[in-house]
Amino acid sequence: MVKELKESTKFVLSVEFWRIGLYWTVALLVSYFQLLLFPKHFKSYPRCSPTSTSSKSISSTVCIITGATSGLGKAAAFALSKEGFFVVLAGRSTTKLAETVAEIKNVNKDAQVKAFQVDVSSLQSLLKFKDSLQQWLLDSNMHSSIQLLINNAGILATLSRCSEEGFDQAMGTNYIGAFSLTKLLLPLLGNSPVASRIVNVTSFTYRSVSSVQVDNDTVSGKCFMRLKGYPCGHVYEYSKLCLLLFSYELHRRLGAMANFHHVSVIAVDPGAVETNIMRELPLCISYLALSVLRLVGLLQSPERGVSAILDASLAPPEVSGLYFFGGKGRAINSSKLSYNPKLGEQLWTTSSALLKAACLETCFSAADTIL
């Protein structure tokens, strides 16, 4: 109890506490104000059933969800299995994966579910997952393609930790992992005989970033790891902005490729959702934050918060390069900084260089040839 009180007091006195408490609240309100004050500035898109774009060439519409054993990822897995997707769960814990598969089957006995143990922050783990996924598709006599990739995995780390490749683990999980997995699976997405889609789950917190660098030291997170006090809030915001910049850059690149016109990219912000994302914060701090959000009516359950992710996943095939927020199929404008094409291109180049430096360039050669 005394130790927890000391940790809580120390955190309250830190810059990160006030950054998270004030900046993030303002960032969330900005998004909601766009919906309330400028209704003409957003569009709503209806959901389309995956069966409406079915093809005799494929027996199942395959969806991959990272971070699928809890929170939004788990809620998305339940919902999309009901929509008829063959849901592939990707998570770090084999125990939680087995429990999630059993829970989905218990609710929907006809659900098609497959689980793979994956650490998104590890490039080696992602490579193993890609090989295992391809082998599974082959062994199951399924079409060598996937139709939906949801990059949902994310962490809010309060302490600096290093990934296997030497990246900051939070950057590795929230952005580099999503970038790498998307590049690895692009050939399978492109091979789909029906429309396919990438959904990147970002966060309103990115609005707190007013300027950004996309050099190797920053994108890898190494510059944050060297600081005396790990800036957990800033790292999380930055990683989510990178994911958004990447989404728009990928949209532009795929749009310029005639053979990939059927692959779309959508960024989605679920808003404030009651998940375990704040599990590393002092318990009383996370409890207070959730209580305040709940009191003002901004905190959603995973089952409600997943609505925006489902909107993005099931939007019409031609919809791409948008930012979904607030449910009801609504897409709003993200920050001016996030649309900067020069930053997006620089981030792509830097991210690709990081993979090359990790001696994995040959593994990503297919995607590099495409893009």
pLDDT value for 361: 53
Which residues are within 8 A (CB) of 181 and not within 5 positions of it... i.e. 6 or more apart? 66, 120, 126, 129, 130, 149, 151
Query: 67-71, 113-117, 159-163, 181-185: which range is least confident on average?
Result: 159-163
Split at pLDDT 50, 70, 90, the class of 172 is very high
Q: Is the pLDDT of residue 359 over 80?
A: no
> What would the pLDDT profile of 224-274 be if each residue is shown by its tens digit?
999 988 999 999 999 999 999 999 999 999 988 877 889 999 999 999 999
Between 2 and 241, where is the model more confident?
241
Q: Is the pLDDT of residue 167 over 90?
A: yes
What does the radius of gyration of the chain's CA atoms come to, in whole angstroms? 20
> What would the pLDDT profile of 100-118 be if each residue is shown by its tens digit?
999 999 999 999 999 999 9
pLDDT value for 2: 54
Mean pLDDT of all residues in 138-158: 95
pLDDT value for 287: 78
pLDDT value for 370: 57
pLDDT value for 83: 95
Tokens of 118: 């994956």
pLDDT value for 59: 75
pLDDT value for 295: 85
Q: Is the pLDDT of residue 203 over 60?
A: yes
Q: What is the mean pLDDT of the chain?
A: 90
Q: Is the pLDDT of residue 52 over 80?
A: no
Split at pLDDT 50, 70, 90, the class of 332 is very high
pLDDT value for 289: 79
pLDDT value for 37: 80
Query: For residues 121 and 208, what is the distance between their CA atoms, to the nearest angstrom?
Result: 24
Q: Are 69 and 102 within 8 A, CB to CB?
A: no
Structural domains in the chain, sorted by start? 2-68+119-272+301-370 (3.40.50.720)
Between 250 and 24, where is the model more confident?
250
